[in-house]
Homo-oligomer: A and B are copies of this chain.
Amino acid sequence: MSQANELLLPARATICEVAPRDGFQAEKEWIPTEQKVRIVRELAKTGIRYMEITSFVHPKAIPQLKDAEEVVRQVQDLPGIHFRALVPNVKGAQRAIDAGLKKLKLMLSATDSHSLANANCRVEEALEGLYPIVELAAKHGVQVGGSISVAFGCPYEGNVPVERIMHIVERYQAMGVNEVSLADTTGMANPKQVYEMLGQLKAHFPQITFSMHLHNTRGMALANAVAALQQGITHFDSSVAGLGGCPYAPGATGNIATEDLVHAFAEMGVETGINLDAIINVAKDVRETLGHDGGSYMLQAGPCSQLHRKPQGQVKLET
């Protein structure tokens, strides 16, 4: 096959499971600590090696994650899993470090509107607030990754200029952070935008490892993941059973489901190291445990590989 006719994708991609943080935090009903721990332990059996385990935020901000320390303590024994936790401030960072986390993820919004709604301060203030966290982490030899929420579109301001993202990545680089997660927080990204923004970011920041945090709010998450793969991006966040939701679109699907991402990548020959049947079974358990899922095609239709017995007689005409 001529290369012109080949869609060139990386042979491997790394998926970070974020349901224990981004998924659970969206749940209204309290999830008992033992259930959280059980799900994390099941996830660890699927081949997942990276997990965003919780967020060390003020319990009043997100009561669902008030058991952060306890969850971390009860999964410390899991071998070969790289845990990270989201930290909104120095206090949260200290709690995460005290709990034994070896990697922290920073929070930041691309726009002032979202930053004010989400963190009660403008982007520049928020950026300043990150320095002491990075210093604290360095002092304890703890890794730090950055993130940019609403990087591809803001539900309040709409389009986010690439220059704005460039500026924030520069600031991250200046503080010694060389991993940046680009979050399509409310599912506003499209594949052309993702491909072109990543192309520019990669050209300007060859030292930075970019990862994609995609929500499927408008059905474009998988298309955006493929666009990112076409740019050589190999790090993705996803959430088992599609947990996560979107506070701006009731009933809308949330994070791209880990099982859907693993399935699509496997179909395209992109190896994730995650067992599809195993992750689908965890998704089923999560749906049963929480009473719902957040939008999962694998839970609805199952994988392509699941063939059907030929029906006797004629079925409805279909094309």
Chain B: which residue is nearest A65 at the CB level?
B317
Interface residue from B107, B192, B247, B305 paired with A319 (Cβ < 8 Å): B107
B218/A220 in contact, CB under 8 A:
no
- Residues 190-249 of A at the B interface (beta carbon under 8 Å): 190-193, 195-196, 199-200, 203, 213, 216-223, 225-227, 230, 246-249
A249/B301 in contact, CB under 8 A:
yes
CB-defined contacts of A311 to chain B, threshold 8 Å = 117
The distance from the CB of A182 to the nearest CB of chain B, in whole angstroms, is 10
- Complex Cα gap A267–B120 (Å): 30
B191/A226 in contact, CB under 8 A:
yes
- Complex Cα gap A278–B227 (Å): 29
CB-defined contacts of A260 to chain B, threshold 8 Å = 218-219
B226/A227 in contact, CB under 8 A:
yes
Interface residue from B199, B213, B307 paired with A156 (Cβ < 8 Å): B307
B203/A5 in contact, CB under 8 A:
yes
A216 with B219, Cβ < 8 A, contacts A117-B311, A310-B156, A317-B55 known? yes
Q: Does A25 contact B (CB under 8 A)?
A: yes
A307/B155 in contact, CB under 8 A:
yes
- Complex Cα gap A267–B246 (Å): 20
Number of copies: 2
- Complex Cα gap A310–B154 (Å): 11
CB-defined contacts of A187 to chain B, threshold 8 Å = 301
A269/B192 in contact, CB under 8 A:
yes
What 1/0 mask marks residues of chain A from 271 to 285 whose CB sits below 8 Å from any chain B CB? Answer: 000000000000000
Can you offer 28 A-B residue contacts whose CB atoms are under 8 A?
A: A1-B200, A2-B203, A4-B199, A5-B199, A6-B196, A6-B199, A22-B318, A57-B317, A88-B317, A119-B317, A147-B319, A181-B319, A187-B301, A188-B304, A190-B264, A190-B304, A191-B226, A218-B297, A218-B301, A220-B222, A223-B223, A223-B226, A223-B264, A247-B316, A248-B308, A249-B301, A252-B297, A252-B301
Report, nearest first, the 5 A-B pairs whose CB atoms are least far apart.
A5-B199, A249-B301, A219-B297, A223-B223, A252-B301
18 extra interface residue pairs, beta carbon distance < 8 Å, beyond A156-B309, A190-B264, A193-B267:
A1-B200, A5-B195, A5-B196, A7-B227, A57-B317, A88-B317, A118-B317, A155-B308, A158-B304, A185-B318, A190-B268, A192-B269, A217-B297, A218-B263, A223-B223, A226-B226, A252-B297, A252-B300
